[in-house]
Amino acid sequence: MATMVSVIRAYGVKEERILAAMSRVRRHRFIPESCGEHDAYGNHPCPIGHGQTISQPYIVAYMTERIGCKPGDRILEIGTGSGYQAAILAELGAEVYTLERIPELAGHARAVLAAEGYGQVHVRCADGYHGWPEHAPYDAIIATCAPDAVPRNLAAQLKDGGRMVLPVGTGFQQLVLLERSGDAFHETPDLPVRFVPMVPGRCGEA
Ligand code: SAH
């Protein structure tokens, strides 16, 4: 755990609050202890079942830093997966709404988040392309699966001044940072990345 945090720091994540949150969340409770031939705290992606993967801890920290997560923020996540990213946001004091399309992953994340004491994370099994309009607008939106283009529908659920970070593209993917100012959206391309695709369809559909 201490090594994981020092690697993230060495990669350039500066915010101490985020490094502290990364050192508090028990990553091995969310993802399988044996991650391939590595352990849960190595700086590499891990399989989380059902053909899905969680990105390396550095990318989790980096995306968290990009949205500028503050205590009291209301945050929407698309792609709950293991629940780890949601736990980091909750550890930073956010109220988290997270959507996952695979029911088994949503169920597992809900159970682990409750057991680890993250009652302010709300998990719903649904298609993230629609967002979660009942709780909009959000201070920030983070997607951990990649659509072909920024879903306008999701951007519309941001508050004025809100920020969204997401991987975009098929094959070549890039993180995109989106900032809302009134009805305008300012897009900044960021790091090249590799995420699983954002797949449309109802909860539980193959
Ligand atoms: N943030 C996760 C990593 C998730 S991997 C973690 O911390 O573990 C990406 C997840 O996005 C996968 O679980 C995948 O099933 C989910 N996903 C893909 N398309 C989706 C969609 N349209 N709506 C909701 N979830 C989706």
105 CA distance to ligand 1 centroid (A)?
9
Q: Residue 97 pairs with which residues in a beta bridge? A: 76, 122
The atom of ligand 1 lying closest to the CA of 198 is 19
Compute CA 168 distance to the chain's CA centroid, rounded to the nearest angstrom: 14
Amino acid 38: pLDDT: 65
Amino acid 52: pLDDT: 94
13 CA distance to ligand 1 centroid (A)?
24
CATH code, domain carrying 30: 3.40.50.150
Amino acid 35: pLDDT: 73
Mutate to test the pocket of ligand 1, among 26, 84, 193, 199 (most ligand atoms within 8 A of CB): 199
Q: Does the Cβ of 168 fall within 6 Å of ligand 1?
A: no
Q: How many other C-beta atoms lie within 10 A of the C-beta of residue 1?
A: 15
Amino acid 171: pLDDT: 86
Amino acid 206: pLDDT: 76
CA-closest candidate to residue 73, choices 92, 54, 53, 98: 92
Q: Please list the ranges in the chain whose pLDDT falls under 70.
A: 33-34, 36-38
173 CA distance to ligand 1 centroid (A)?
16
pLDDT, tens only, 12-41: 999 999 999 999 999 999 997 667 556 788
- Sheet with 95-100: list strands edge to edge: 121-125, 95-100, 74-78, 138-143, 158-168, 173-181, 184-193
Amino acid 34: pLDDT: 67
CA-closest candidate to residue 144, choices 43, 67, 37, 38: 67
Amino acid 40: pLDDT: 84
- 200 part of a folded domain: no
- pTM here is 0.97
What interhelical angle do 84-91 and 57-67 show, nearest 10?
50
Q: Does the Cβ of 112 fall within 6 Å of ligand 1?
A: no
- 203 part of a folded domain: no
Overall number of domains in the chain: 1
SS3 content of the chain, % helix, strand, coil (to 5): 30, 30, 35
Residue-number span of the structural domain to which 57 is assigned: 2-193
Read off the tokens for 56. 């390396």
CA dihedral 24, 46, 176, 128 (to 10 degrees): -90
